[in-house]
Structure 1
Amino acid sequence: MGRWEPNARGRLEQAALELYIERGFEQTTVAEIAKRAGLAERTFFRHFADKREVLFGGAGTLQEFLVSALADASDAATPIDAVAAAFEAAGTLLQERRETARQRQAVIAANAELRERELIKLASLASALADALRQRGVTDSAASLAAEAGSAIFRIAFERWINEAGQPDLPHLIRESLDELKALTAGK
């Protein structure tokens, strides 16, 4: 039996990302990821269902964080402001992982199956946020609109953050995108 080594999950994530960038997602096998991480293939499957999940394994944690941050928003906040505040809080967490986020998005952008999975993840986040807004007493349609708009705001800010050099921090870009949306809808 091999000696236990710490942070197997993190090592697998790092190894997978390196290999996806070097060889491409389709050309990388689970066995290669495990080998690069210095782990057995069996260990990979203890942490991830398949090689896609290495890129999406944190989706559940992100969703829980966003819903919790939304629940903690001020009762006086409008639905869209509450959703934006939740995404800003998540943006603060992502701030330290900018280069990893950039690399992850490059891998996703190069593969149609992964792009589809990313859209599903975003739709799930919006659905969870809409449910959380409904629990705050927001009507069905307003909750859905605010959650979908918030998801779009986050996506636009995130793309700017990873693709444009010299951009300010992600929470600032989220707030800036929200302000731009408000200006557009106000007819200014």
Structure 2
Amino acid sequence: PERLDLSLLTAERLAGIERRDFEKIRIGTSKHGSKVGDIFRVAGNNLLDVVFEGGSARLDRVAEAMRGGSVRVVGDAGAQAGRAMRGGTLTIEGNAGPHAGSGMRGGRLEITGNAGDHLGAPLAGELAGMNGGVLIVRGKAGAFAADRMRRGLIAVLKGSGDHAGSRMIAGTLVVAGGTGEMPGYLRRAADALAVSRDG
């Protein structure tokens, strides 16, 4: 199945767009290139509050670089949810894929389920991970949560995988419910690194 790039579907990027034009925005990443209207039934006119009903692990880059407003996913989200957010609120009522919150600079990202590997961590080739904002995971996080984190707060409530807080530069990581191997590995500094090793 085709993966979908939802990075264009935020309040500031949709400002001034007519509904019929909104439905023509290409979001598919395959040669076919599905459009918004092919995948979603569009309702309402409030572009400051975007809701995706019926999530999927194929919904990538939700709320990327968002500066204001809110985005809510009722269900799962794919890779890079909330990447480079600067403001606003992203709520995922399900699980999120890898690199959720990567490069965040502000705003609030809340995931009610689990998060994949590299939560708040940089993409390959980048030198720094999360750089501001608040990221809350009510479930578990995968490996390398908060890798190379510089600023902000990450709270994981039901445990994380290996190398949580690895190479942290600054910022705050709180993990309850246990971690995998080597938490804080090669950490240079951190405002706070609090982990519970017991499940």
Q: Which has the higher contact order (CA 8 A, sep 6+)?
A: 1
- TM-score, with normalisation over the residues of structure 1? 0.31
Of structures 1 and 2, the larger Rg is shown by: 1
